Amino acid sequence: MAISFDAALGKTPQILALREKRGEVLAANLANADTPNFKARDLDFSQVLKKTNPAPVLIAHTQPGHFAPEQPFLGAQLRYRTPYQVSLDGNTVEEHIEQAKYAENATQYQASLQFIGGEFNELKSAFTGQV
Protein backbone atom coordinates (compact mmCIF):
# COMPACT_ATOMS: atom_id res chain seq x y z
CA MET A 1 0.00 0.00 0.00
CA ALA A 2 1.42 3.38 -1.03
CA ILE A 3 1.58 6.20 1.50
CA SER A 4 0.57 9.62 0.22
CA PHE A 5 2.09 12.49 2.19
CA ASP A 6 -0.39 14.85 0.52
CA ALA A 7 -3.29 12.82 1.88
CA ALA A 8 -1.67 12.41 5.30
CA LEU A 9 -0.76 16.07 5.77
CA GLY A 10 -3.80 17.64 4.12
CA LYS A 11 -3.62 21.39 3.67
CA THR A 12 -1.03 21.96 6.39
CA PRO A 13 1.95 22.52 4.03
CA GLN A 14 -0.02 25.12 2.04
CA ILE A 15 -1.16 26.81 5.25
CA LEU A 16 2.45 26.90 6.44
CA ALA A 17 3.55 28.50 3.15
CA LEU A 18 0.77 31.09 3.39
CA ARG A 19 1.70 31.94 6.96
CA GLU A 20 5.32 32.40 5.85
CA LYS A 21 4.30 34.69 2.98
CA ARG A 22 1.98 36.67 5.28
CA GLY A 23 4.88 37.13 7.71
CA GLU A 24 6.96 38.60 4.88
CA VAL A 25 4.16 41.02 3.92
CA LEU A 26 3.64 42.14 7.53
CA ALA A 27 7.39 42.56 8.04
CA ALA A 28 7.53 44.73 4.89
CA ASN A 29 4.73 46.87 6.35
CA LEU A 30 6.71 47.37 9.56
CA ALA A 31 9.92 48.10 7.65
CA ASN A 32 8.14 50.82 5.68
CA ALA A 33 6.39 52.45 8.63
CA ASP A 34 8.23 55.73 7.94
CA THR A 35 8.07 55.62 4.12
CA PRO A 36 5.87 58.43 2.75
CA ASN A 37 2.77 57.21 0.88
CA PHE A 38 3.45 53.55 1.68
CA LYS A 39 0.21 51.57 1.88
CA ALA A 40 0.01 48.70 4.37
CA ARG A 41 -1.07 45.36 2.90
CA ASP A 42 -2.05 41.93 4.13
CA LEU A 43 -2.88 38.54 2.63
CA ASP A 44 -6.52 37.59 2.53
CA PHE A 45 -5.94 34.28 4.31
CA SER A 46 -9.61 33.43 4.81
CA GLN A 47 -10.20 33.62 1.05
CA VAL A 48 -7.88 30.70 0.48
CA LEU A 49 -9.36 28.58 3.24
CA LYS A 50 -12.95 29.11 2.16
CA LYS A 51 -12.25 28.27 -1.51
CA THR A 52 -15.64 29.72 -2.38
CA ASN A 53 -14.37 32.51 -4.58
CA PRO A 54 -13.90 31.91 -8.31
CA ALA A 55 -10.43 31.95 -9.83
CA PRO A 56 -8.89 35.44 -9.59
CA VAL A 57 -8.77 37.63 -12.66
CA LEU A 58 -5.15 38.21 -13.59
CA ILE A 59 -4.28 41.71 -14.76
CA ALA A 60 -2.28 42.02 -17.97
CA HIS A 61 1.03 43.89 -18.16
CA THR A 62 0.36 45.92 -21.31
CA GLN A 63 3.00 48.66 -21.34
CA PRO A 64 6.74 48.34 -20.69
CA GLY A 65 6.65 51.27 -18.22
CA HIS A 66 3.94 49.70 -16.07
CA PHE A 67 4.71 47.66 -12.99
CA ALA A 68 3.90 43.99 -13.39
CA PRO A 69 0.87 43.13 -11.25
CA GLU A 70 1.46 40.77 -8.37
CA GLN A 71 0.00 37.34 -8.98
CA PRO A 72 -1.90 35.54 -6.22
CA PHE A 73 0.16 33.32 -3.92
CA LEU A 74 -1.59 29.96 -3.53
CA GLY A 75 -4.86 31.73 -4.31
CA ALA A 76 -4.40 34.49 -1.72
CA GLN A 77 -4.66 38.08 -2.88
CA LEU A 78 -2.75 40.93 -1.30
CA ARG A 79 -5.21 43.49 -0.01
CA TYR A 80 -4.59 47.02 1.19
CA ARG A 81 -5.33 47.51 4.85
CA THR A 82 -7.90 50.17 5.76
CA PRO A 83 -6.19 52.34 8.38
CA TYR A 84 -7.89 53.86 11.39
CA GLN A 85 -5.91 57.04 10.83
CA VAL A 86 -3.69 57.87 7.86
CA SER A 87 -0.53 59.81 8.66
CA LEU A 88 0.05 63.24 7.16
CA ASP A 89 2.53 61.84 4.62
CA GLY A 90 -0.04 59.32 3.29
CA ASN A 91 1.47 56.27 5.00
CA THR A 92 -1.18 53.81 6.17
CA VAL A 93 1.07 51.63 8.37
CA GLU A 94 -0.07 51.67 11.97
CA GLU A 95 2.79 50.05 13.84
CA HIS A 96 0.78 48.77 16.82
CA ILE A 97 -1.66 47.00 14.49
CA GLU A 98 1.10 45.57 12.29
CA GLN A 99 2.99 44.32 15.35
CA ALA A 100 -0.15 42.64 16.68
CA LYS A 101 -0.89 41.03 13.29
CA TYR A 102 2.74 39.90 12.99
CA ALA A 103 2.68 38.34 16.49
CA GLU A 104 -0.65 36.64 15.74
CA ASN A 105 0.70 35.26 12.46
CA ALA A 106 3.91 34.06 14.17
CA THR A 107 1.86 32.21 16.77
CA GLN A 108 -0.30 30.61 14.09
CA TYR A 109 2.82 29.69 12.09
CA GLN A 110 4.30 28.00 15.17
CA ALA A 111 1.03 26.14 15.76
CA SER A 112 1.07 24.94 12.14
CA LEU A 113 4.66 23.73 12.59
CA GLN A 114 3.68 21.80 15.71
CA PHE A 115 0.66 20.34 13.93
CA ILE A 116 2.72 19.13 10.96
CA GLY A 117 5.33 17.76 13.39
CA GLY A 118 2.60 15.78 15.10
CA GLU A 119 1.42 14.43 11.75
CA PHE A 120 4.96 13.24 10.96
CA ASN A 121 5.21 11.62 14.40
CA GLU A 122 1.97 9.73 13.71
CA LEU A 123 3.32 8.57 10.34
CA LYS A 124 6.55 7.50 12.02
CA SER A 125 4.57 5.53 14.60
CA ALA A 126 2.62 3.85 11.81
CA PHE A 127 5.83 2.83 10.05
CA THR A 128 7.66 1.56 13.12
CA GLY A 129 4.68 0.19 15.03
CA GLN A 130 5.81 1.98 18.17
CA VAL A 131 3.56 4.35 20.05
pTM of the shown model = 0.68
- Local structure of 92: helix, strand or coil: coil
Report the number of distinct structural domains present in the chain: 1
Q: What is the pLDDT of residues 40-91, one digit of tens each?
A: 999 877 776 665 344 554 556 566 666 555 555 566 778 888 888 888 999 9
Residue 40 included in any domain: yes
Residue 62 included in any domain: no
Range of the domain at 79: 10-55+71-128
Residue 93 included in any domain: yes
Higher pLDDT, 115 or 7: 115
Residue 2 included in any domain: no
CA distance 63 to 45: 31
Within 10 angstroms of residue 47's Cβ, the number of other Cβ atoms is 16
Q: What is the pLDDT of residues 43-54, one digit of tens each?
A: 877 776 665 344
For the chain, the straight-line distance linking the first and the last C-alpha, in angstroms and rounded, comes to 21
Residue 31 included in any domain: yes
Distances (CA, A) of 48 to 18, 52, 99: 9, 8, 23
Residue 63 included in any domain: no
